[in-house]
Amino acid sequence: MQRQKICIIGSGNWGSAIAKIIGFNAEAHPELFETDVPMWVFEEQVNGHKLTEIINTEHENVKYLKGIKLPQRVIAIPDVVEAAKDADILVFVLPHQFVRGICDKLKGKLKTSAVAVTLIKGFEIAEGGGILLISNVIRQSLNIPCAALMGANIANEVANEHYCEATIGCQDKQLGQKLKSVFQTKYFRIVCVQDETVVEVCGALKNVVATAAGFTDGLGYGDNTKAAVIRLGLMEMIKFSLVFYPGSKLETFFESCGVADLITTCYGGRNRRVAEAFVKTGKPIGQLEQEMLQGQKLQGPPTAAEVNSMLKTKNMENKFPLFTAVHKICQGTITATEMIECLRNHPEHN
Ligand SMILES: NC(=O)c1ccc[n+]([C@@H]2O[C@H](COP(=O)([O-])OP(=O)(O)OC[C@H]3O[C@@H](n4cnc5c(N)ncnc54)[C@H](O)[C@@H]3O)[C@@H](O)[C@H]2O)c1
Ligand SMILES: O=P(O)(O)OC[C@H](O)CO
């Protein structure tokens, strides 16, 4: 088989951690992959220098993943078309609000045989209401297949090589195995499943639940309340999948992309942390995102809005009280304390 060229589209906190893994695997398997791994970087000035230049000389993304060395053959490129033009495998890993714009730039500029995998957690609001999966945005814009990789993967822990797992969702078994060889390492273990929609839906929805978990932390509640949020959140995630994506399989929720990601994100994630601060300080979420995340992006509040657009369109807000409450708190129309009332009266208790 011809050696495959991998291109990473994105270079934030997770993008850089995954670049470490892909760069390592590309170097370790020259029989499978081209050793040079182009990585598209949204250009910005850091300490008076271009971020791409810093990455290509210091081999470190000093802004988004400080203290972690990247393989030398990961090459930062500021032009996304230039980065992706010869790629066989495109790894999409950028905050979901920027995907559409990037796909527009890539339209008609890729190898026709290219395949994609999305590591992006979130949805896009569809014209006329409802939501689109990010994999569908990629598939439809670029006319290439797109799998999903999601899991309990806080980027800094992965970058520090702490053992963890992830799930690849790919209907095409052969492509799933090919993608597994791109990502699997001794400390990053992959399970492939064919239920690709649930893998992706879990990754997006868990950020809404994490935001709820952060609100309860902000209110000063303890682990029992958080466990209830995780349980009710999981029930809503399952219901959302079964209602809107018929054919979803329950067993997929027991993979890393499901329960495991939900737990890690409700304890260790950025969404939880910022949501806690929101309740404690009363500052707007956007301001806290800027103050606390140094350029990293929060996915929970926009995803809650996207989910709400779907629920509103289908007149189903009251069937998903946790998802609905998170959106309303982010919008400032109810308080975090009122979310506890929504949970107290959750349909799961009837
Ligand atoms: N960070 C994690 O621990 C983690 C783990 C698993 C999955 N994810 C998911 O991976 C995806 C990417 O997250 P991340 O942590 O790599 O990103 P991030 O939160 O670090 O976001 C910063 C990135 O956004 C880019 N950016 C800023 N403005 C931009 C613009 N106008 N256009 C394009 N790009 C712009 C920055 O250059 C930077 O690369 C998200 O969907 C996230 O939910 C994150
Ligand atoms: O830091 P968060 O909340 O964006 O979560 C990070 C990852 O998605 C955890 O798997």
pLDDT digits (tens, 9 = 90+) for 136-147: 999 999 999 999
| Residue 6: per-residue pLDDT | 98
pLDDT digits (tens, 9 = 90+) for 295-309: 999 999 999 999 999
- Helix (H) / strand (E) element for 89: namely strand 89-92
299 labeled part of a ligand binding site = yes
Classify 95 as helix, strand or coil. Answer: coil
Ligand 1 site-directed mutation target among 92, 100, 297, 298, most atoms within 8 Å of CB: 297
95 lines ligand 2 (CB under 6 A): no
Beta strands in the chain (DSSP E): 6-9, 37-40, 45-46, 49-50, 74-77, 89-92, 115-118, 123-125, 131-133, 146-150, 164-169, 188-193
11 labeled part of a ligand binding site = yes
Ligand found nearest the CA of 273: 2
Q: Which atom of ligand 1 is nearest to the CA of 18?
A: 16
pLDDT digits (tens, 9 = 90+) for 231-273: 999 999 999 999 999 999 999 999 999 999 999 999 999 999 9
- Active site (annotated) includes residue 206: yes
Q: Which atom of ligand 1 is nearest to the CA of 16?
A: 16
Tokens of 213: 């978990």
Span 99-119, average pLDDT: 98
Residue of 5, 20, 63, 206 marked active site: 206
Report residue 169's pLDDT band, with 50, 70 and 90 as the boundaries.
Answer: very high
The C-alpha angle with vertex 34 and arms to 30 and 35, in degrees rounded to 5, equals 75
Span 192-196, average pLDDT: 98
| Residue 313: per-residue pLDDT | 94
pLDDT digits (tens, 9 = 90+) for 63-76: 999 999 999 999 99
344 labeled part of a ligand binding site = no
pLDDT digits (tens, 9 = 90+) for 205-227: 999 999 999 999 999 999 999 99
80 lines ligand 1 (CB under 6 A): no
DSSP 8-state symbol, 216: H
Q: Which atom of ligand 1 is nearest to the CA of 122?
A: 41
Q: Which atom of ligand 1 is nearest to the CA of 44?
A: 37
271 lines ligand 2 (CB under 6 A): yes
Classify 189 as helix, strand or coil. Answer: strand
Ligand 2 site-directed mutation target among 149, 265, 289, most atoms within 8 Å of CB: 265
By DSSP bridging, strand 74-77 and strand 37-40 are parallel
13 lines ligand 2 (CB under 6 A): no
| Residue 204: per-residue pLDDT | 98
